[in-house]
Structure formats: C-alpha cells, structure tokens
Structure 1
Amino acid sequence: MAKLLKLFTKWLIQWIFAVYYGLIVSFAILCDIIKCGPKTFFHRETRTSRPECMNDPALGTHGFLNLQTGIRIHYVAAGDEDKPLMLFLHGFPECWYSWRYQIKAFKSEYRVVSVDMRGYGESDCPVGMKNYSSRILTDDIRDIISELGYSSCVLVGHDWGGLIAWCVAMEYPELVDKLIINNVAHPDRLAKHIASHWSQFRKSWYIFLFQLPYLPELMLRAKDYSFLKGSFMGKSFGIRTPDMFTLTDLEAMKFSFSQQGAITGAVNYYRSALQTKPLRSKPIKCPTILIWGDKDGALEIEMTKGHDKYVDNFTLKIVEGASHWVQQDFPDKVNRIMSEFLKG
C-alpha cells in the first residue's frame, strides 16, 4: 500500500507541474500568435532534401540499418571498415550532424559512425511513447553495433545520447571498450540532482511540459522551428563560439526536425522517461571520461560530482567557457581530450 501511495504521489506531482507549465506555455503561444500573426506562427518551410552541408563527402557516406525490431536507423560513416568502431549518439534537439567535427577528427584512426537516434531525422519514428523507453533505446545501440559488423566500440554520447550510452555500458559492458560522455551525468546522478536541487528542477521545467499531448509539438514547430535557433544560437543556452555553429548548420538541424514524426519522436524520449520503468543501475567497469562545458545553461556542473560511485575508472574534464553543446562549441579542445583519453 505504501508503495502504491508513493507512486500515486509521484504521478500527481508530475501532472500538477505539467498542467502548470502547460498553462504558462499556452498563454505565451496565444500572445505570440497575436503578436506575429497566425501565418507567421504556423509557417514551416518544406524540406524534402538534405542541405548540402549534410552531404559533405568529408563527413562520410549515408546509409541505413534495418534492426531486428523492424526499426530502420539512418547513419553516416567514414573511415576504413577494418578499423575499430567509434559510435556517436546525439542528444536533444540534435541529429547525427552534431558530431561533424569529431567525425573529421577521428576518421583516420577509427571507423566513425554517427546515427540519427530512433525518433530523429531520417531514422524511423515509431508511434507511442512506450517505444522510447530506456530499455528499447539501449537495445537499439546493441543492435546497431551488431548490424555494423562489430562486437564492441568506443561509445560517445551527448545529452540524451549520453544517457543511453551510460545505459549501454551498464547493460552490455562487453560492447563498450571505452565510454566518452559529453555534458550529461550518470542517469542516477542526474535524477537525484534534479530531485534535490530546486535550481535544477526549475531548469528542467520542459520535462514536465513534454508530458502533455500536442502542446509541446505545437511549441516546437512554431515559426519554422524557431526554438532551434534559440537553443543553439541564443544568449542563454547557445553555442558560445559563433563560428562553430552557423545558419547553415541550423538548417541541417531544421531538416532533421522537419522529417515526418521527428518532433513527436524527440518529445517521446521525455514522456517515456517519466512514465516507464528505468533500467537498474549497475557498476561501469570500462574506462570512462565525462567532458563538461562549465557554461552549460541546462545542466548544473555540480552534478559532475560523485561519479566514482558508479564508475570504477572515471575521469572528469571541464572545458572552460563551453556551453551545453560542448563538442560543437570547442571541438578542438574536446577532440584533444578525447584523443588523450583514448591513447591513455
């Protein structure tokens, strides 16, 4: 009975905050429609083909994997196939293109593969938030490694991709030779920090908003996906090195989110995170490095502490002046840190 009461209380709190933030956003949307007009607010460009930057030969070749679950995953690969695999997992709101600087830097030493995660870009976007549980997303990575013809890899993740990379290292340790995480804490550490720090709880308001139907999609599609410009180029959360993220790069992100089902697929990660059972935490044995931009506007740097509890062989590297998008913000520094870690 106590367990049931605890679950109900948790559910009630989540939905109180979801409705609260939903009312605020609904009012903001109404004001925006009045201010800019319905035509501007609901306008979206038609994007039927990749922008040229996504077809840059220096980034590799495009391909698709058909997983045993029936899901088709889009990826871009470069480097010789007889070299070790380095697999890149992006976060929200990104796509495979987020790793463009790392693809170029490591393709001479590795078979580098950057995927569109399930629900993003040119990968399949299955309907229903239950198709985005941590178990399913983790198993996707297991199957991707196998379909690529490898038995293990250097696994690199950022944001949501980092959370899934943590889970892969816990669930399938034999698949991960070394683990490289960018600006996201271990899942348990992240959850505990949000629950115990009001400042981080407020920064994570969108997680509760995303539990609502329809409204998050409406907000994210507004004014031709203008939220992407705010995310990557805005003063609060944006990349702090302007030359590293241009309007051309922004168009690549917009192309990814303009694909059918992609907005809902991305939001479903958050819906599922609060409404499905998380994976049980297990010790991580492989060498692991956490690279963190200290100007992250979304996640507090304090959550980098205490990872020795979860990882036997742990290294932390702070990139001063970098935003949440650390691998795009200061790619030379991040690439150097990664290279030193891989050689160490």
Structure 2
Amino acid sequence: MIALPDPRPVVLRSGVTLDVCETGPANAPALIFLHGFPESWRAWRHQIADFAPHYRCIAPDQRGYGASSKPAGVADYAPEKLAEDVLALADALSMERFTLIGHDWGGVVAWLAAHTAPERIARLAIANAPHPALFQRLLCANAEQRQASAYITALRDPAIDEDLASRGLTPTLLHLFGKGALAAMEPEERAHLLTRWQDGDAARAMVNWYRASPIVVPLEDQPALAPPSRRSAHAGSGDLGHGRPRSAARLSGWAGGYLPRFADRPSAGGGPFFTLGRGGAGL
C-alpha cells in the first residue's frame, strides 16, 4: 500500500474544522470518502491507496471525530449540518462536482448531501446504509430490523454519559457489539482506534450523531407502526433541499421505486461497527 499523507485541518465557512487526508492529482476527478461510526478517515485507507494514482482522494474525519471540531451541543450533530460539512468541504477545496462515497453513517450523510445538492454529485456510492426513508419504514414494520437496531436506543441513553466521559467509548462498544469486529481488524488499525476511543469528548460527540437524528426506533415488542408522517427521507430537516417538506411515507414510496431491492429487507444486523478491508467489504 502506498504511504498516505497525514491529515491537515481545513476550516469550513461555518467555522467548523475538519481534519482531512488528501492525496492524488489535484486536477483529477475528485472522490470524497465518508467514514461511519465509530471509525475515522482511515477506514478508507486501502481504497484511497488504490484510487490515488488516478483520482483526487479526500477523506475527512467528520465532525466530532479525531482532531476535527467537536461542538458540545447535540443539535450540532443534526444530519443536515453533517451534510453541509461535506458541501462546505468541497467548496473549501474548490471542487464543484465530485463522487461521494459513504459507509454506515457516512452513507446517511452522503444520501442527504446528494438530495441537497444533486447537481454537485457526479456519482454516489453507498455501503451499509439503506436510504433513510426505507430504513425508517423497516424500523416501524419489521421486528428483525428493530432488534438489529436496538443499539441506537442504547447509545441515546444518557445513563452512559458518565462512563463515556471517564472511560471513553470502548467499554460501551464492547458491551453492545462484542469483541468480534475488533479482533478481525488489522492490529495497527485496532491500536489506532482504541487510542482514539479513550477521548471522552470525542466519545460523546460520536454518540451525539445518534441523539441528533430524528430516526424513531420503536420498542422491539411494539406492534407494527406506520412510518412517522412528518419525518424526512434523510432523517434530518423537513425537506430535500428543494423547499418542499416531504413525509417519510411519501419518500419511502419514492425511494422504493428506485431501490426496490432494499424496500423490504432488513439492514445489517451487526450494528455499525465495521472497518473496510482491501476489497471494500465490511467485516
């Protein structure tokens, strides 16, 4: 694997700073890689190494991660603000159009950025992140999906805050997901993440992504529910960037027309805890 440069701070128009790894020819087509929870830009290190000879590759530590800004308020992690970070990063790096690649939470942000500014997205590639409208519909109607997503409710519970502050994120992750994903990681990457997860401020910031999302996770024993009528498809504010509020019910139908293979199938049951390997598949 080629050596990748150390990330550098990039200040956005909002005042937020993102730590960004950038490599590849400056005049080549641009790729922006968005990591998931609870990872870092390095989740894409193998893919960046493959693409960098021919593409301009940009991989930020997103808001709340690593050396990037960590605002204190839960509302600072609302999905629309995370998507705005991506568009503002492209502006800061003078990129009008780009391919957007997202995994897990990075995929959710990618969906929203594409809805907000479709004219700027040359291509969209998403791993382990079904369209948010479809995900919400599954949560309401599918007991298997509720069980698979119960970790979201656990991460929203303020009872974990004291432990996050004193011991970081690792004990909570091990409790929710076990040791399997950590054991499967490359040793260097495992050490990198374990060091990062010791930071109590970062742990709280990462969890705030879940707390700021309006996605509703019904109790596992609740009967099937209709999707919330006023939730947007991107699990953020009430519109798609075109000035027209839309309900999750309407957008579920819209998204299902384009993505029928996701419409009635539960999402990944192992939680968000994945590190991408050389081939790009989650562990």
Distance (whole Å) between structure 2 residues aligned to residue 74 and residue 333 of structure 1: 22
Alignment of structure 1 residues 89-100 onto 2, 5 Å: 89-100=34-45
8 Å Cα contact 2:30-2:99 kept in structure 1 = yes
Alignment of structure 1 residues 243-262 onto 2, 5 Å: 245-259=185-199, 261-262=201-202
RMSD: 3.5
Matched, 1:137 2:77: no
Report deviation, 1:233. Answer: 7.7
Distance (whole Å) between structure 1 residues aligned to residue 83 and residue 19 of structure 2: 16
Gaps of 5+ in 1: 1-55, 284-305, 318-322, 335-344
Distance (whole Å) between structure 2 residues aligned to residue 82 and residue 212 of structure 1: 46
Per-residue CA distance 1:195-218 (angstroms, 9 max, x = gap)? 111222122222223333251561
Matched, 1:332 2:272: no
Report deviation, 1:89. Answer: 0.6
Distance (whole Å) between structure 1 residues aligned to residue 254 and residue 182 of structure 2: 31
Matched, 1:274 2:214: yes
Distance (whole Å) between structure 1 residues aligned to residue 168 and residue 10 of structure 2: 33
Distance (whole Å) between structure 2 residues aligned to residue 89 and residue 316 of structure 1: 23
Per-residue CA distance 1:241-279 (angstroms, 9 max, x = gap)? x4xx22321111123333462111111111111389723
Other-structure match for 1:77: 22
Identity across the alignment (%) = 26
Deviates more, 1:197-206 or 1:79-88: 197-206
Q: Which structure dedicates a bigger proportion of its chain to helix? A: 1
Gaps of 5+ in 2: 216-230, 242-250, 263-269
8 Å Cα contact 2:166-2:200 kept in structure 1 = no
Partner-residue secondary structure (3-state), 1:178? strand
Distance (whole Å) between structure 2 residues aligned to residue 228 and residue 206 of structure 1: 10
Partner-residue secondary structure (3-state), 2:49? helix
Report deviation, 1:61. Answer: 3.4
Distance (whole Å) between structure 2 residues aligned to residue 176 and residue 100 of structure 1: 22
Per-residue CA distance 1:114-133 (angstroms, 9 max, x = gap)? 11110111101001101011
Distance (whole Å) between structure 1 residues aligned to residue 165 and residue 147 of structure 2: 19
What is the TM-score when the length of structure 1 is the normalising length? 0.63
Q: Which is higher, the Rg of structure 1 or of structure 2? A: 1
Distance (whole Å) between structure 1 residues aligned to residue 260 and residue 57 of structure 2: 23
Distance (whole Å) between structure 1 residues aligned to residue 143 and residue 256 of structure 2: 26
Equivalent of 2:144, from 178, 199, 214? 199
Distance (whole Å) between structure 1 residues aligned to residue 168 and residue 69 of structure 2: 25
The change in CA–CA distance for 1:311 and 1:81 in structure 2 (over 3 A counts) is farther
Letter in 1 for 2:213: A
8 Å Cα contact 2:23-2:56 kept in structure 1 = yes
8 Å Cα contact 1:182-1:326 kept in structure 2 = no
Per-residue CA distance 1:68-112 (angstroms, 9 max, x = gap)? 111111011111111111101111111111111111111112111
Letter in 1 for 2:101: V
Other-structure match for 1:264: 204
Other-structure match for 1:166: 111
Distance (whole Å) between structure 2 residues aligned to residue 221 and residue 97 of structure 1: 25
The change in CA–CA distance for 1:210 and 1:233 in structure 2 (over 3 A counts) is closer
